[in-house]
Amino acid sequence: MSRLIAIEGIDGSGKNTQTELLLSRLNTEGKKAKKISFPCYSETFFGKEVGRYLNGEFGSLDQVHPKLAAMLYAGDRYEKCRYIRKLLSEDVLVIADRYVPSNIAHQSVKVATDVRDEFSKWVEDLEYEIYKMPKPDLVVFLDVPPGNSQELILMKEKRDYTEKARDLHEEDEDYLKKVYKCFLDLSAKPGWTKIECSHEGRLRSVDSIFVDLWETVSQVINK
Ligand SMILES: Nc1ncnc2c1ncn2[C@@H]1O[C@H](COP(=O)(O)OP(=O)(O)OP(=O)(O)O)[C@@H](O)[C@H]1O
Ligand SMILES: Cc1cn([C@H]2C[C@H](O)[C@@H](COP(=O)(O)O)O2)c(=O)[nH]c1=O
């Protein structure tokens, strides 16, 4: 059972929370599973540079060309490519807390709408063709609207790469709204499942969201 499952969503949408629960449930069920989180801020050469980018050290959001930012994230993932391939070859289920779709959603919204598809294709070529990253078998979008996620961002623990409560991406609410819309559009594509994490404007509980996530993942791993 070689499977790569990516959990996606905007900043502060509960990806870490849900991927930890998923890993623990898979282990309880006796499945071989590992979790990997991107960016790998402290482990990889490019991950450290991503931290500097998100701390604003290379310029503001509109000063850093999205292709250059995307290349930092892609480089970080490429440094983990061999590890992921090894796990998959050993039939270990790999749960990715963010993967290539994060690069598409977060970087493509910085370019004009008429060239967004072209930009997304460029990211896919870079990651899947040039770097030969394995493609995910399932992408789950945790649908938390930006209004709900802002509170969660502020609940996060301090990060090593920044002293700020909100990093370069998180502090720009208009940008996060565009990223959210982009994820919504992507989640209609084949291979994606969307989980609605809020109801009537209120965030659902961690446990109830996990019920839906487990049902979605079970269908893929039991195929
Ligand atoms: N459904 C929920 N209800 C209430 N609090 C939640 C829920 N999901 C997550 N949280 C809390 O929100 C904060 C952010 O969650 P988490 O770190 O899982 O998000 P994330 O999507 O991984 O964030 P990021 O990608 O920006 O690092 C944490 O403090 C977590 O405990
Ligand atoms: C993997 C990846 C991430 N991003 C963006 C998404 C977030 O705004 C940050 C990472 O923050 P987190 O709190 O550590 O999740 O970076 C991106 O633009 N491209 C990517 O590939």
Ordered per-residue pLDDT tens for the chain, 223 residues: 669 999 999 999 999 999 999 999 999 999 999 999 999 999 999 999 999 999 999 999 999 999 999 999 999 999 999 999 999 999 999 999 999 999 999 999 999 999 999 999 999 999 999 999 999 999 999 999 998 988 888 888 888 999 998 899 999 999 999 999 999 999 999 999 999 999 998 999 999 999 999 999 999 888 7
What does the radius of gyration of the chain's CA atoms come to, in whole angstroms?
A: 17
Contact status, residue 59 vs residue 69, Cβ threshold 8 Å: no
Provide the edge-to-edge strand list for the sheet that holds 33-37: 33-37, 93-97, 4-8, 138-143, 192-196
What is the pLDDT, as a whole number, of residue 221?
Answer: 87
Token pair of 123 as six digits: 């990211």
Mutation probe of ligand 2 site: the residue of 16, 73, 98, 162 with most atoms within 8 A of C-beta: 98
Q: Is the pTM of this model over 0.90?
A: yes
* Nearest residue to 32 (alpha-carbon basis) of 85, 90, 72, 73: 90
Task: For residue 90, report the distance from its CA to the centre of ligand 1, in Å.
Answer: 31
Contact status, residue 197 vs residue 204, Cβ threshold 8 Å: yes
* Nearest residue to 116 (alpha-carbon basis) of 79, 43, 62, 66: 66
What is the pLDDT, as a whole number, of residue 30?
Answer: 94
- Round to whole Å and give the CA distance between 186 and 101: 8
What is the pLDDT, as a whole number, of residue 2?
Answer: 61
Task: For residue 17, report the distance from its CA to the centre of ligand 1, in Å.
Answer: 6
Task: For residue 166, report the distance from its CA to the centre of ligand 1, in Å.
Answer: 14
Q: Please give the number of the atom of ligand 1 that sits closest to the Cα of 98.
A: 25
What is the CB < 6 Å shell around ligand 2?
Answer: 11, 38-39, 54, 73, 98, 102-103, 106-107, 169
Contact status, residue 126 vs residue 70, Cβ threshold 8 Å: yes
What is the CB < 6 Å shell around ligand 1?
Answer: 9, 11-17, 152, 155-156, 203-206, 209
Q: Please give the number of the atom of ligand 2 that sits closest to the Cα of 107.
A: 18
